[in-house]
Structure 1
Amino acid sequence: MDASTPPASEFERLIHGQHDDPFALLGPHGTGKDRIVTVFDPGAQTLHAVTDDGTTHPLTPMGGAPGIFRGPVPGSGHYWLRGEASGNTWEFEDAYRFGPVLGEMDEYLLGEGSHLRIWQALGAHVIEHEGQWGCQFAVWAPNARRVSVVGDFNWWDGRRHAMRRRGATGVWEIFVPFVADGAVYRYEILGADGQVQPLKADPVGFGSQHPPENASIVRDISGYGWSDDEWMTTRAEAQKREAPISVYEVHLPSWRRKDWGRPISYIEAAKELIDYVADMGFTHIELMPISEYPFDGSWGYQPVGMFAPTIRCGLPHEFRDLVNAAHKAGIGVILDWVPGHFPSDPHGLGKFDGTALYEHADPREGFHKDWNTLIYNYGRAEVSNFLTANALYWLEEYHADGLRVDAVASMLYRDYSRNPGEWVPNKDGGRENYEAIAVLQRMNTETYGAHSGIMTVAEESTAYPGVSQPVNQGGLGFGFKWNMGWMNDTLEYMKKDPIHRSHHHHQMTFGLVYAYSENFILPISHDEVVHGKGSMIGKMPGSDWEQFANLRAYYGFMWGHPGKKLLFMGQELAQRSEWNHDAQVDWDCLADPRHAGIQALVRDLNHLYTSTPALHVRDCFEDGFEWIVGGDSQNSVFVWTRKAGPEDPQVVVICNFTPQEQSAYRIGMPTAGTWREALNSDAEIYGGGNRGNYGQVEAVEGEMHGQPAHVDLTVPPLSAIYLIKD
């Protein structure tokens, strides 16, 4: 052995997968006559290096180090390798002859936790590097002793493509020639304790196998031809507080099933779902989590592949096809986003490099009792960066128009769903999770700062202040917040027999006390129709007729109430079955005119809401609403007016939540004159009894209910009426 030959112990470490710096041993070292190439190929009996001029240079097996070959390859130019064993010959490029892909700025930003486009640095990227095409792999595992990328391309042998450590960043990378789009891979990680971890999926991988298989798949996400410029340049107007926003919440795999029960594909949904939503008059689709998840029963709320659109419905470019089609139809796309927790599946983020890396080590901070999941360590700069960058990723790479953030309350409070002694107070001894709050504020600041036309929405079930207030005013910075209190109160009211409703009148009016404390969305989401809660129609009391009439009246109340709207799929049909993620929406129920009537009502409510400024422009402003009759608990009647600008017609909404018709019911009106009955939920086309006011009423001068005019009208049983003075 000459003086430059490493000691045998170094080769032993390499052979046994214990070496933390394989580039120090393998590949070319030196130039000219002094260049020595060292290769590890455990399947080879002989190995040659071949230079571009066709010259072969035999590499010598290292005695006592099986699979290690070493020898001179003069020059500094390109070479490739030719192995032979048992009469078989193969050729391959030496991954260890290539320099790093990541630059100094990437290294600096990754180390600092301020690289907001980490998906451009980490993950698997099909690129050309130093004149050769292949795949660059990069992953963050700061406490690992060795990280290797494994796949079919190297027989899942973690010794073959051990990666290069990038200084103090904790990032490992390697460029592997000829690995292409569609290649299956994982990371094999030797932990700090010397133990090999379960094979890990790529935290920044762009694709995954079909569950229950869970390896990552190389997906080239570059080069998509978007054609949604018109929407992208105008969407800010469609998503501001003054805009009509009516959201159709969709669990895509169970919206419609195809063939023998498979989920609808992104490509099919780009036609069928978009056409349906446009016809129904919804302005936005909200997709329950699209990021890859292992367990169907989590509905996507326990994600592993935060950067991978689920393969259940297709490939990344095909998901882009769906978003592109929505935008061309003038429909926004909101994605459910889950930064609150992640599952403990062995291939996931848990103890990624053998240590509590993404999660807290202390289960009082790092384990969710409700869902048996792990909680991110929000105070770690790299984890905060991972989540913030992921939010930007969906907005930039997939043109998402907004993110609805799941389970915000579980992030805000350290004692969420915990008993005394089971949680760790903050530095001031309180329950607020300062670090999680900072992550949410950072996410909102960065996303709105980069894309002012987007919208973020918080599912926050407590009275935490300032959820939809700007960060620079002490708020969390969300654009909107789900109004969970309104939803709970009003549904509890609707479940009651009408004979008891007079005693619970406040449940329908209390929402107006705080209606303008946040920018609210009124949500009837998937959470209200699962886990034994039944369907919306099933919540309504009474006979079949009364159930349908109650639901029509409730939707009329909801669309007339201040706040943006959200309805979960299937509830626009009044399907009787509870939502089942393994089936599809009960489209067959539309053969019944009563169900078709509910669908027609939702369609008309949407079109009336979006076309009538008074019903949406001042949704989030106190001057857009005024009670006319708010206290008639005896008759369970509610009357109010909605307003926009001084030139826009007002809308008077009347709701009757008893099965008794109110004849000659006198109410105050904003002005005298003819008021058109723009919508009556008791109309025959909706399945009602066609009772009402023959299409219009005549208000006369004379003060009542604080209004300058009044009218006597018929209010059908269990109904909602909208009057507009054109």
Structure 2
Amino acid sequence: MAQLDHGRCAAPFEWLGLHEYNGRWQVVAVAHGARSIEVVVDGSEQAVTATRIGEGVFVAHLAAKPASYALRLHWPRHSETIADPYGFDPLLAPEQLDAFNRGELRRPADVFGAQVRVVNNLEGVHFSVWAPHAQRVSVVGDFNQWDGRRHVMRRHAEAGVWEIFIPEVDIGAVYKFELLDQHGYLLPLKADPHARQTECPPASASMVAPPLWHAWHDASWMARRRSMHFEAAPLSIYEVQATSWQRDAEGRWLDWDALAAQLIPYVQAQNFTHIEFLPVNEYPFGGSWGYQPIAMYAPTARMGDLDAFARFVDSCHVAGIGVILDWVSGHFPADAHGLRQFDGTPLYEHGDPREGFHQDWHTLIYNYGKPQVRQYLLGSALAWLDRFHIDGLRVDAVASMLYRDYSRAEGEWIPNKHGGRENLEAVAFLKDLNSLIAREHPGVMVMAEESTAWPGVTGSPEHGGLGFSFKWNMGWMHDCLHYMQHDPLYRRYHHDDLTFGLVYAYSERFVLPLSHDEVVHGKGSLLSRMPGDRWRQFANLRAFYGFMWGHPGKKLLFMGGEFAQRNEWHHDRALDWELLEDPLHLGVQRLVSDLNRLLYHEPALHRRDHQPDGFSWVVGDDTHASVYAFLRYGGEGTAPMLVVCNFTPEVRNDYRIGVPEGGVWHEVCNTDSDYYGGSNVGNGGEVRAQDIPSRGHRQSLNLRLPPLATLILRAEGNSA
């Protein structure tokens, strides 16, 4: 009884509740702080008074085995009658525990965590958690005054899983798990790994989540998505950090409903096809922007409840906008209430810091070799797609997962079983992730932020690839920004920065990203990195956007970039929307909107992004003039598009460029248009091809190239 009294009994169901002892039936209960306990038998008015046999342990001897009973607890200031949590049989089935042990429980959050259940006609919550090395696990919360002696859980030793059903716990109740490690030491209170709702940081408890009540209106969107061939579709992504896109008059971030009212119409007006959010699953430290998540199954409570997030996604779909989430499976934070040393041992992480500690971020690395850990992560990915109809996941920091020596010096990492640097377990996990999503959610995209030359990132797992839908083209991004930062006078010496990307453009399916990472940590904004005076900075940025939207690959632009945010992004304040009162900033915004519209409506600019026959150079070697020209093709029945870039401030008259078709070519975009803030140098809207051979083509255009600008022209009569 001493162990029960002190909350250290590892097998409480053997002692608590209704049991026969020496031929007599008795009920044993724990309620520290109670003045007395009565056992109400078979719903009668009479009750048996229990005897206190310890500080908080009571026993009541019954005349016979009851059909049912309840506990009447008399506290110093009130009394309550409750069903005994120790009067219920196990709710976890052996086949569920077996599947969990094998890592084959595809949707573990439907089994583990806090499940609202009705058992024996009583509503309550079934709690379960994996903690194989714990000596004891309890559920604590407001419903038991955070007393770990009250609700010690039942242990399934074969699976290392603990469970308890607690009647009359309400939706919205806050809770954590209290664990004693294998040596009997009390650990910091732990949040539920499978929590589907949490308190708002800095509070850190898990919450009993309600069912998702939202009635969806996106059936037609979901049907189209299932049949979509995303590799040939127009894809232009607006990357957003949800709490800093816009703020209210008091400087507070918007909730999901307010964000929907403002962000969705804005994205529609800008003609982006998708919104990609930096991670929205719960994270304790705002400065991590969500990239150090603490709850892999719960949307952040900062912006509202589960239904509010569902309404946001649904509203996007109704408006024709997809939603992509950044998703972090490479590491987790070391906060005491999180997964670190969850049961007193390195349960989710590697024990050896050479495998389990990220030196760059001071975070912990998942042990992908454990089936339960892989299952936990795979279940998280499916949960966002199942419950919230998410259209894509962007997997963060894939390179850090693939290499055991990532950001480590010699002697600071452990080779794999073959002596190599590849993380074989992480590779297997990523293949499983992509195969699972492709199988269960056709049309959902999975993107890799992978910064190395790992082969086959978007190749099929059946042929040795990782199976991602797309890979972020980090090399293209760095090369292009390196080029654009040079004064035009010196760009001739860096000409290959813009051509090199085409050498490997078809080795993977690429997204061209200008992401949040490029406008933080002292790098400045995109605009501030452009050389020259104010006018030239804007002209450079507009010309670069024209080049990017014409280049093969899907597009991604971080918020603020579409109107040339001047200051570096900061997560604690809104974007500088007042800049749109300036015609030059407004002009960049207009340009991005028009480029997205062109991308969507012109098959040549998206349909063959990943096929070599969708692109050909016309001018790729004019280093002296810093001029680039290339053709894009969309296939039979579609108009070819010509993209011409002049990355010097010189107007170039009579610049001849070969084209594959005669007739009129329409100037469908000129980044130097005065509508965008430019000097309005151009070709009057159209140019007629001449029968003068040039650069391998029988016809050619005699163009006037505006300064620091990109032209996009379409052959007449073949537009889609």
Fold-level similarity (TM above 0.5): yes
Shift of 1:569: 0.2
Q: Select the residue among 388, 392, 400 that pairs with 1:410.
A: 400
Asked whether 1:63 is paired with 2:53, we answer yes
Instruction: For 2:358 and 2:110, locate their aligned partners in 1 and report how far apart those are by CA, in whole Å.
Output: 31
Instruction: For 2:212 and 2:577, locate their aligned partners in 1 and report how far apart those are by CA, in whole Å.
Output: 37
Asked whether 1:530 is paired with 2:530, we answer no
Match of 1:188 in 2: 178
Asked whether 1:251 is paired with 2:241, we answer yes
Instruction: For 1:56 and 1:396, locate their aligned partners in 2 and report how far apart those are by CA, in whole Å.
Output: 50
Instruction: For 1:634 and 1:85, locate their aligned partners in 2 and report how far apart those are by CA, in whole Å.
Output: 88
Instruction: For 1:700 and 1:66, locate their aligned partners in 2 and report how far apart those are by CA, in whole Å.
Output: 97
Shift of 1:45: 2.9
Of 75-84 and 629-638, deviating more is: 75-84
Contact 2:42 2:66 in 1 (8 A): no
Of 711-720 and 220-229, deviating more is: 220-229
Instruction: For 1:331 and 1:165, locate their aligned partners in 2 and report how far apart those are by CA, in whole Å.
Output: 46
Shift of 1:99: 1.8
Give runs of aligned pairs for residues 377-392 of structure 1, distance below 5 A. 377-392=367-382
Shift of 1:78: 2.9
Asked whether 1:144 is paired with 2:146, we answer no
Asked whether 1:312 is paired with 2:302, we answer yes
Sort the Cα spacing of 1:87 and 1:584 in 2 relative to 1 into closer, same or farther, 3 A. Answer: closer
Contact 1:293 1:310 in 2 (8 A): yes
Give runs of aligned pairs for residues 367-378 of structure 1, distance below 5 A. 367-378=357-368
Question: For each residue in 1:398-433, what CA deviation from the matched residue of structure 2 results, as whole angstroms up to 9, or x when unmatched?
Answer: 111110000000000000000000000001111000
Match of 1:613 in 2: 603
Contact 1:12 1:65 in 2 (8 A): no
Sort the Cα spacing of 1:661 and 1:164 in 2 relative to 1 into closer, same or farther, 3 A. Answer: same
Give runs of aligned pairs for residues 14-413 of structure 1, distance below 5 A. 14-29=4-19, 35-64=25-54, 66-72=56-62, 74-86=64-76, 88-238=78-228, 240-413=230-403
Contact 1:136 1:173 in 2 (8 A): yes
Question: For each residue in 1:139-193, what CA deviation from the matched residue of structure 2 results, as whole angstroms up to 9, or x when unmatched?
Answer: 1111111100100100000010011112411111111111111111110001101
Asked whether 1:476 is paired with 2:466, we answer yes
Instruction: For 1:201 and 1:152, locate their aligned partners in 2 and report how far apart those are by CA, in whole Å.
Output: 14
The alignment partner of 2:243 has SS state of helix
Question: For each residue in 1:373-417, what CA deviation from the matched residue of structure 2 results, as whole angstroms up to 9, or x when unmatched?
Answer: 000111111111111111111111111111000000000000000
The alignment partner of 1:342 has SS state of coil
Of 697-706 and 589-598, deviating more is: 697-706
Instruction: For 1:600 and 1:112, locate their aligned partners in 2 and report how far apart those are by CA, in whole Å.
Output: 54
Sort the Cα spacing of 1:238 and 1:590 in 2 relative to 1 into closer, same or farther, 3 A. Answer: farther
Question: For each residue in 1:498-556, what CA deviation from the matched residue of structure 2 results, as whole angstroms up to 9, or x when unmatched?
Answer: 00000110000000000000000000000000000000100100011100000000000
Instruction: For 2:252 and 2:209, locate their aligned partners in 1 and report how far apart those are by CA, in whole Å.
Output: 23
The alignment partner of 1:704 has SS state of coil
Question: For each residue in 1:263-288, what CA deviation from the matched residue of structure 2 results, as whole angstroms up to 9, or x when unmatched?
Answer: 11111122211111111110011010
Shift of 1:453: 1.2
The alignment partner of 2:61 has SS state of strand
Question: For each residue in 1:308-346, what CA deviation from the matched residue of structure 2 results, as whole angstroms up to 9, or x when unmatched?
Answer: 100111111111111111111111111000001011010
Shift of 1:703: 2.0
Sort the Cα spacing of 1:679 and 1:66 in 2 relative to 1 into closer, same or farther, 3 A. Answer: closer
Instruction: For 1:424 and 1:89, locate their aligned partners in 2 and report how far apart those are by CA, in whole Å.
Output: 59
Sort the Cα spacing of 1:472 and 1:460 in 2 relative to 1 into closer, same or farther, 3 A. Answer: same
Asked whether 1:420 is paired with 2:410, we answer yes
Match of 1:6 in 2: none
Q: What is the identity, as a one-letter code, of the residue corresponding to 2:361?
A: W
Match of 1:4 in 2: none
Give runs of aligned pairs for residues 672-683 of structure 1, distance below 5 A. 672-683=662-673
Shift of 1:52: 4.3
Give runs of aligned pairs for residues 534-545 of structure 1, distance below 5 A. 534-545=524-535
Shift of 1:222: 3.5
The alignment partner of 1:28 has SS state of strand
Contact 2:171 2:208 in 1 (8 A): yes
Contact 2:5 2:54 in 1 (8 A): no
Match of 1:709 in 2: 699
Instruction: For 1:259 and 1:169, locate their aligned partners in 2 and report how far apart those are by CA, in whole Å.
Output: 52
The alignment partner of 1:485 has SS state of helix
Contact 2:643 2:713 in 1 (8 A): yes
Of 90-99 and 377-386, deviating more is: 90-99
Sort the Cα spacing of 1:64 and 1:505 in 2 relative to 1 into closer, same or farther, 3 A. Answer: closer
Aligned residues: 715
The alignment partner of 2:561 has SS state of coil
The alignment partner of 1:262 has SS state of coil
Shift of 1:13: 0.6
Instruction: For 1:74 and 1:52, locate their aligned partners in 2 and report how far apart those are by CA, in whole Å.
Output: 11
Contact 1:44 1:67 in 2 (8 A): no
Sort the Cα spacing of 1:599 and 1:18 in 2 relative to 1 into closer, same or farther, 3 A. Answer: same
Shift of 1:226: 1.4
Contact 2:226 2:441 in 1 (8 A): no
Match of 1:518 in 2: 508
Match of 1:432 in 2: 422
Give runs of aligned pairs for residues 634-649 of structure 1, distance below 5 A. 634-649=624-639
Match of 1:5 in 2: none
Asked whether 1:600 is paired with 2:618, we answer no
Of 135-144 and 592-601, deviating more is: 135-144
The alignment partner of 1:148 has SS state of strand
Sort the Cα spacing of 1:237 and 1:715 in 2 relative to 1 into closer, same or farther, 3 A. Answer: farther
Instruction: For 2:68 and 2:619, locate their aligned partners in 1 and report how far apart those are by CA, in whole Å.
Output: 85
Shift of 1:701: 1.9
The alignment partner of 2:237 has SS state of strand
Q: What is the identity, as a one-letter code, of the residue corresponding to 1:152?
A: D
- What percentage of residue pairs aligned between the two structures are identical? 51
Shift of 1:646: 1.5
Contact 1:256 1:264 in 2 (8 A): yes
Instruction: For 2:77 and 2:130, locate their aligned partners in 1 and report how far apart those are by CA, in whole Å.
Output: 41
Asked whether 1:492 is paired with 2:482, we answer yes
Give runs of aligned pairs for residues 623-642 of structure 1, distance below 5 A. 623-642=613-632
Instruction: For 1:219 and 1:53, locate their aligned partners in 2 and report how far apart those are by CA, in whole Å.
Output: 31
Q: What is the identity, as a one-letter code, of the residue corresponding to 1:548?
A: F
Q: What is the identity, as a one-letter code, of the residue corresponding to 1:302?
A: Q
Shift of 1:88: 4.0
Q: What is the identity, as a one-letter code, of the residue corresponding to 2:436?
A: E
The root-mean-square deviation of aligned C-alpha atoms, in Å, is 1.4
Contact 1:48 1:56 in 2 (8 A): no
Of 353-362 and 22-31, deviating more is: 22-31
TM-score normalised over the length of structure 1: 0.97
Q: Select the residue among 446, 450, 455 that pairs with 1:456.
A: 446
TM-score normalised over the length of structure 2: 0.97
Contact 1:657 1:719 in 2 (8 A): yes
Match of 1:557 in 2: 547
Gaps of 5+ in 2: none
Of 122-131 and 288-297, deviating more is: 122-131
Asked whether 1:689 is paired with 2:704, we answer no
